Amino acid sequence: MAGSPSIRLGISQCLLGDPVRYDGGHKRDRFLTDVLGRYVEWVPICPEVEAGLGVPREPMRLVGASDVPRLVTITTQRDLTRQLKGFSTRKLGELQALDLSGYVFKARSPSCGIESVPLYGKTGKAKPDGTGLFARAFQKQFPLIPITDEGRLVDPASREYFLKRVFGYHRWSQFTKRPVTRRAVVSFHQAQADLLSSCGRRDRQALNRLVALPARYRPTQLAARYGRRFMKALQSSAGPREIPSTSRRRRKDERSN
């Protein structure tokens, strides 16, 4: 729609075809660049490059426990955890002002993988239990923003599921920029019939109860409660669930950094 704010999505920079991987290569995804890119504004980020690790660079991997993994180079065993975490803190502060409506991460990357990242234990064996350091920090900072990876987007149903959540979050984000009143929250809810139609009955009922008696809450309270419940409803909506990307697109290279 002319004049509408553009939908901004964060993305792992290598997926756009930029040569930022450890070996100087890229992982361009044609759907993201040639199709989805016509409708959204990309905000490309490569944590390793922006943290000052350069291209090319020594490949790295996650080691240790899944709740406190460390990022270590494979050959020289250099621990880069603090450097990557420092970058993440700075970058997330910048992203706060960019109004992202979603993020497409690089699957299985030790910095950007959202699931099934190889995590190496003391024996040297890997288990698919890790989450990339930057992806982990992003999810903690922005728990409501929809995320996915390029592996999941191979499946049309999962693609639709992700985009539905992106549109919903974008609508809510734009709504919260205006003065919030109880009546405005009720009107927003009534306007979301298209997105909420495929959500579970329990989720729809919970939202209906919130707006049925809005006077129970202060306007800002009502908006905060509604926003969390709205995104939860979209995440658990009826229809396709996002299947782990590794079940669709196996990666030969575990060092996706």
pTM: 0.90
Q: What is the pLDDT of residue 255?
A: 45
CB atoms within 10 A of CB 74: 14
**Beta strand residue intervals within the chain, DSSP E:** 8-12, 41-45, 60-64, 69-73, 102-105, 117-120, 126-130, 147-149
- 44 residue type, one letter: P
CA–CA distance, 129 with 65 (Å, rounded to integer): 9
CB atoms within 10 A of CB 86: 12
CA–CA distance, 197 with 191 (Å, rounded to integer): 11
Q: Which two tokens stand for residue 4?
A: 């509408």
pLDDT digits (tens, 9 = 90+) for 171-185: 999 999 999 999 999
Bridge partners, 256 (sequence order): none
pLDDT digits (tens, 9 = 90+) for 91-110: 999 999 999 999 999 999 99
Q: Which two tokens stand for residue 212?
A: 């049925």
The mean pLDDT of the chain is 91
Q: What is the pLDDT of residue 76?
A: 97
Tokens 């599921």 map to which residue?
161
Alpha helices in the chain, H assignment, sequence order: 30, 47-50, 81-95, 133-141, 156-175, 182-190, 193-196, 201-212, 219-235
What mean pLDDT do residues 27-40 have?
97
Q: What is the pLDDT of residue 83?
A: 98
What is the H or E stretch that residue 180 is in? none
Q: What is the pLDDT of residue 157?
A: 93
Q: What is the pLDDT of residue 122?
A: 85
Q: What is the pLDDT of residue 257?
A: 58
What mean pLDDT do residues 154-182 have?
96
Bridge partners, 64 (sequence order): 69
Quickly state the pLDDT bin for 7 (edges 50, 70, 90).
very high
- Chain-centre distance of CA 42, in angstroms? 13
Q: What is the pLDDT of residue 131?
A: 98
- Nearest by Cα to 116 from 158, 149, 72, 75: 149
Q: What is the pLDDT of residue 71?
A: 98
Q: CB–CB of 47/27 below 8 Å?
A: no
Q: What is the pLDDT of residue 237?
A: 73
What mean pLDDT do residues 31-44 have?
97
pLDDT digits (tens, 9 = 90+) for 185-213: 999 999 999 999 989 999 999 999 999 99
pLDDT digits (tens, 9 = 90+) for 46-77: 999 999 999 999 999 999 999 999 999 999 99
Between 40 and 238, name the one with better pLDDT: 40
